[in-house]
Structure 1
Amino acid sequence: MKPAHLAAALLSLTAAAPAPRVADLSGVWLFPRSEEFPGLRMMRLSRDAAGWRGTVTTDWYGDMPMRALEVAGGKARFLIDNGNPRLPPRIWTATVDRAGLHVTGDIWERHVDAEVKRGGEADARRLAFPLAPLPAPATLRPDGLAPTPPMGWSSWNRFAAAIDDRTVREIADHLVSSGLRDAGYRFINIDDGWQGTRGPDGAIRPNARFPDMKALADYVHARGLKIGLYSSPGPKTCAGFTGSYGHVEQDARTFAAWGFDYLKYDLCSGEGIFRTASQVRLAYQQMGQALRATGRRIVYSLCQYGRDRVGTWGRDVGGHLWRTTGDIEDRYDSMAGIGFDKDGDPATAGPGGWNDPDMLEVGNGGMSEDEYRTHMTLWAMLAAPLMLGNDLRTMSPATIALLENRGVIAIDQDALGRQARRIRKDGEAEIWSRPLADGSVALALFNRGETAREMSFAPEDAGLSRIEALVDVWAGVPDNAGRRSWKIPAHGAVLLRLRGQP
């Protein structure tokens, strides 16, 4: 072919395949279906007099709105977020190409790079995320549960989602044989990872690692213990298992029929659906009402990371404890950052409703014995729930001694239910005080520094004019009532119980 003819042919081909137009972005666009996070379904773009708007529909977060949407030159640019205020919105782009749209962006830790095809309204109806209604606002009355902070064991800190029936049974046995049950630890709580799929009737089924939940509950109950479970108001739990969205009342009935005594309800994917404080509150109220309706007495743990001043409304939705923070990690800086600074408002805590700075890490190996002693001291002063997070089957004698100290537990479980307050802070040295039901006062001296230091207190720190009796709680013995000074190791603590004249 001559050069002139070749040029004419190329020109003809170019004319036969015109460049995509901006208008081509309007409509329904279908992602390749995948069970992977976040379960992308479809994208919809439309334009009216007010400008462009759009959504990305997912299995995890429902319809995620496109924010700051701009369309120009066959390309859409927008921001996507999953409702988590700790994470900045991510930039996504959708660019017209000859195959459809090329979509790229990030959500959580997932990078999306997909070719999406044009669909129609029938596809949109088939792939639409079902919107489940929320109840009308209501206030639930106290039910008398959790008069002191719940105590027990939870699977997440040690096992994450790799938990099974056999492990739960063995943990229950060791909670008894170690003496920890008799020290007050009574709940065995299965966290994320037990869920399977829903049957044709919509009822949640456990996965293959949990062949019979009713039999497991009976096993735990036979050992003088109670048993707890985990779910989410969202479609997916944090580990990607089936949540309670759209099946709240049904799940509550199932949990009660299995014989469970405790539910931890973790916001997880629900944060992408319930985007306002009022929606979050109603989502937790819905499960609170559903649990009450079963007639079974179930302790209700709200896990929405301390947002929206949850302590001011946690009781009203049926909650008995509410998280004050994100997840704890087995490091001193994580534990201290939560316990000293993200421990909730003391005014909202007391019998029937507790600030929850998350589960214990004692015995998991990431902190020293002094740091774990600080962990226990601080949680006891905060009147925090004491949920063990270690493998009870491999505990050292030192770990058992930390966990079963009856004097420390007595302060945590004190019937007055008053959370401690920071009285004095001098650099890395802090003194906290907590009044107790018998008129005595718990006083904790914390050294948050990197080296040992002398710390002293005055009777006024405990609200006393004169001290008549002093007990070193960790040692479990009375000390000289006139003693005022201790040498405290780095990241260490001293816990005292004082009696005297106000």
Structure 2
Amino acid sequence: MRRYGVLAGVTLAVAVAVGAARAGDLDGVWVVGTTPSFPGVRMFEIHAGPSPSGTLTTDWYGAMPMRNLRITGDVASFEIDNGNPRLQAHTWTATRQGDGVRLVGDIWYQHVDASAHAGSETERHALAFTLQPPPMVLRALSSNGLARTPPMGWSSWNKFATRIDDVAVRQIADAMVASGLRDAGYVYVNIDDGWQGARDANGVLQPNAKFPDMAGLARYVHARGLKLGLYSSPGPKSCAGYVGSYGHVVQDARTWAGWGVDYIKYDLCSGEGFYRSPTEIRATYQEMGAALQATGRPIVFSLCEYGRADVGSWGRLVAGNLWRTSGDIKDSYDSMAAIGFDKGGKPEDAGPGGWNDLDMLEVGNGGMTADEYRTHLSLWAMQAAPLMTGNDLRTMTPETVALLTDKTMLAIDQDPLGRQGRRLFKRGDLEVWTRPLADGAMAVAVFNRAAQPLDAELSWEELGVAAPARLTGAWTAAPVERSASGFKASVPTHGVVLLRAG
């Protein structure tokens, strides 16, 4: 996730200027003083010579090796790769000032201006980052038997980010019941990033002051016929800079199970600095999957690593129930469409117990029109994606409730056959998708990607279905003119006609 205090990934290019000092004067350890918590630069170390080498150590990504380290005159330059190639290099300078060095640079949104002094061997050991490698022997974990249809619920991030607390979560749970969302199938109440506190003397992770009694909160949620979800990361830091599960995987899984947690979202975040190869990424998710199973509590396992390393091909093997297929969604048509139309994952990877996750819903957050939100929900339903609404349920309008609880849309998403739909064909700005359903019917979605309404005329033959005895439309937003050979419909701007044929 890209979030407050988050670096989804970066390559650092650093220049160390040492005035009139010789290149050899850069040898050794430089301990950084006060610096922003992200990325939490601790120290850097340079070994000059014919083949110079070095590392930059941070709280977020550990000791990152210097790449292409060059020492020319009184300047050393190098690059550091944290495991995510999407962001371009950032240039830093470290200027010799008396006995110390001034480190100045920018990492994504964060500006760093810090002094560093020559470090002792004692400081070097104290500031070293202890590497916790994941289990590198890959194996297939057994299924946890959960999520036979795509999970449905609510998640805090899209609306609240880290501005979430115990009181709000209890109110959201009440609103899920009062609005009818629970009875429509939305049962997970998921607290995303921002609940984590510090570890106690025994390493047990505590919630922060905004969540004074996590077990009590779980009981409150359960008493309303709902389930509680939490969030963590395999890295030292979560995407928002809170404590991750790095080095405490088994311990955290036991803690969550003891609280009564039913769902864990595991977000790669700073873990990308440690787990870079496909094998390493799979191994760290396998580690948590095994730890959750060892607790004996049924816990849905949500893999959030942005679709890397062909996650759909192994998500089930680490006891995963859903896996993200893309980066984060935003509350805009362009963002939603980019994911929904083109980043839905491989249909063959999805099915009962394991689903391609197109990210949380933005319905009701105000950035799209009602027709665009219908497209949003239709794309997710056609692709058998989890439906995690991300709006403020306490203040949503009746129109938003109607969008989220449409029976035809939900029946398509939750169809027990679990076959993910596919794009059948494109015709100009119209896209036609189909999805086979368990009772032999076919779900058909006609999407309009144009900036104006379009008329669609489709034959049963080109859809690959016989003339159905019954044609049911979602939301009844657009009238459908049916005939023996096919149907006609007017599709609104950025809208959809979603049908169940049969």
TM-score > 0.5, shorter chain as reference: yes
Say which SS state the counterpart of residue 411 (structure 2) adopts.
Answer: helix
Alignment of 1:226-265 (within 5 A): 226-265=227-266
* Cα separation, 2, equivalents of 1:461 and 1:285: 43
Q: Which runs of 4+ in 1 moved over 6 A?
A: 476-479
Instruction: Return the letter of the residue paired with 2:495.
Output: G
Alignment of 1:132-151 (within 5 A): 132-135=132-135, 136-151=137-152
Conserved? CA contact 1:42–1:56, under 8 Å: yes
Q: Quote the offset at 1:79 in angstroms.
A: 1.4
Q: Which residue of the partner structure matches residue 495 of structure 1?
A: 498
**Normalising to structure 1: TM-score of the pair?**
0.93
Instruction: Return the letter of the residue paired with 2:497.
Output: V
Conserved? CA contact 2:434–2:442, under 8 Å: yes
Say which SS state the counterpart of residue 284 (structure 1) adopts.
Answer: helix
Instruction: Return the letter of the residue paired with 2:451.
Output: E
* Cα separation, 1, equivalents of 2:52 and 2:432: 57
Conserved? CA contact 2:147–2:300, under 8 Å: yes
Conserved? CA contact 1:147–1:351, under 8 Å: yes
Q: Quote the offset at 1:460 in angstroms.
A: 3.0
Q: Which residue of the partner structure matches residue 225 of structure 2?
A: 224
Deviates more, 1:397-406 or 1:104-113: 104-113
Q: Quote the offset at 1:234 in angstroms.
A: 0.5
* Cα separation, 2, equivalents of 1:205 and 1:255: 10
Are 2:407 and 1:406 equivalent residues in the alignment? yes
For structure 2, the residue ranges without an aligned partner over 5 or more in a row are 1-18
Q: Which residue of the partner structure matches residue 290 of structure 2?
A: 289
* Cα separation, 2, equivalents of 1:430 and 1:436: 20
Say which SS state the counterpart of residue 237 (structure 2) adopts.
Answer: coil
* Cα separation, 2, equivalents of 1:400 and 1:190: 21
Say which SS state the counterpart of residue 468 (structure 2) adopts.
Answer: strand
Are 2:83 and 1:83 equivalent residues in the alignment? yes
Q: Which residue of the partner structure matches residue 448 of structure 1?
A: 449
Say which SS state the counterpart of residue 278 (structure 1) adopts.
Answer: helix
Instruction: Return the letter of the residue paired with 2:197.
Output: G
Say which SS state the counterpart of residue 457 (structure 1) adopts.
Answer: strand
Q: Which residue of the partner structure matches residue 15 of structure 1?
A: none
What fraction of aligned residue pairs are identical, expressed as a percent? 59
Q: Quote the offset at 1:80 in angstroms.
A: 2.4
Alignment of 1:97-116 (within 5 A): 97-116=97-116
* Cα separation, 2, equivalents of 1:82 and 1:251: 25
Instruction: Return the letter of the residue paired with 2:70.
Output: E
Q: Quote the offset at 1:284 in angstroms.
A: 0.8
- C-alpha distance after superposition, 1:355-402 (max 9, x if no partner): 001000000011111111111111110100000100001111110000
* Cα separation, 2, equivalents of 1:185 and 1:258: 21
Instruction: Return the letter of the residue paired with 1:350.
Output: G
Instruction: Return the letter of the residue paired with 2:145.
Output: G
* Cα separation, 1, equivalents of 2:355 and 2:107: 33
Conserved? CA contact 1:55–1:63, under 8 Å: yes
* Cα separation, 2, equivalents of 1:465 and 1:414: 20
- C-alpha distance after superposition, 1:305-324 (max 9, x if no partner): 11111101111111100001
Q: Which residue of the partner structure matches residue 331 of structure 1?
A: 332
* Cα separation, 2, equivalents of 1:106 and 1:279: 28
Say which SS state the counterpart of residue 466 (structure 1) adopts.
Answer: coil
Say which SS state the counterpart of residue 265 (structure 2) adopts.
Answer: strand
Deviates more, 1:76-85 or 1:214-223: 76-85
Q: Quote the offset at 1:19 in angstroms.
A: 4.1
Are 2:489 and 1:486 equivalent residues in the alignment? yes
Conserved? CA contact 1:470–1:479, under 8 Å: no
Conserved? CA contact 2:228–2:263, under 8 Å: yes
Conserved? CA contact 1:195–1:204, under 8 Å: yes
- C-alpha distance after superposition, 1:276-323 (max 9, x if no partner): 221111111111010000000100000001111110111111110000
Deviates more, 1:61-70 or 1:468-477: 468-477
* Cα separation, 2, equivalents of 1:253 and 1:326: 29
Q: Which residue of the partner structure matches residue 4 of structure 1?
A: none
Deviates more, 1:163-172 or 1:277-286: 277-286
Are 2:405 and 1:365 equivalent residues in the alignment? no
Say which SS state the counterpart of residue 467 (structure 1) adopts.
Answer: coil
- C-alpha distance after superposition, 1:219-246 (max 9, x if no partner): 0000001110000001111111111001
Instruction: Return the letter of the residue paired with 1:310.
Output: V
Alignment of 1:143-182 (within 5 A): 143-182=144-183
* Cα separation, 2, equivalents of 1:426 and 1:346: 22
Q: Quote the offset at 1:457 in angstroms.
A: 1.6
Q: 1:93 to 1:71 in 2, by over 3 A?
A: farther
Q: Quote the offset at 1:88 in angstroms.
A: 1.8
Instruction: Return the letter of the residue paired with 1:487.
Output: S
Alignment of 1:17-28 (within 5 A): 19-28=20-29
Q: Which residue of the partner structure matches residue 29 of structure 1?
A: 30
Q: Which residue of the partner structure matches residue 419 of structure 1?
A: 420
**Normalising to structure 2: TM-score of the pair?**
0.93
For structure 1, the residue ranges without an aligned partner over 5 or more in a row are 1-17
Q: Which residue of the partner structure matches residue 130 of structure 2?
A: 130
Q: Quote the offset at 1:75 in angstroms.
A: 1.4
RMSD of aligned alpha carbons: 1.6
Q: Quote the offset at 1:479 in angstroms.
A: 7.2
* Cα separation, 1, equivalents of 2:55 and 2:331: 39
Conserved? CA contact 2:36–2:112, under 8 Å: no
Q: Which residue of the partner structure matches residue 312 of structure 1?
A: 313
Q: Quote the offset at 1:47 in angstroms.
A: 3.4
Q: Which residue of the partner structure matches residue 357 of structure 2?
A: 356
Q: Quote the offset at 1:33 in angstroms.
A: 4.0
* Cα separation, 1, equivalents of 2:298 and 2:408: 29
Q: Quote the offset at 1:119 in angstroms.
A: 0.7
Instruction: Return the letter of the residue paired with 2:390.
Output: G
Q: Which residue of the partner structure matches residue 280 of structure 1?
A: 281
Q: Which residue of the partner structure matches residue 62 of structure 1?
A: 62
Q: Quote the offset at 1:254 in angstroms.
A: 0.2
Instruction: Return the letter of the residue paired with 1:305.
Output: Y
Conserved? CA contact 2:363–2:390, under 8 Å: yes
Instruction: Return the letter of the residue paired with 2:437.
Output: L
Instruction: Return the letter of the residue paired with 1:96.
Output: R
Q: 1:201 to 1:379 in 2, by over 3 A?
A: same
* Cα separation, 2, equivalents of 1:281 and 1:108: 27
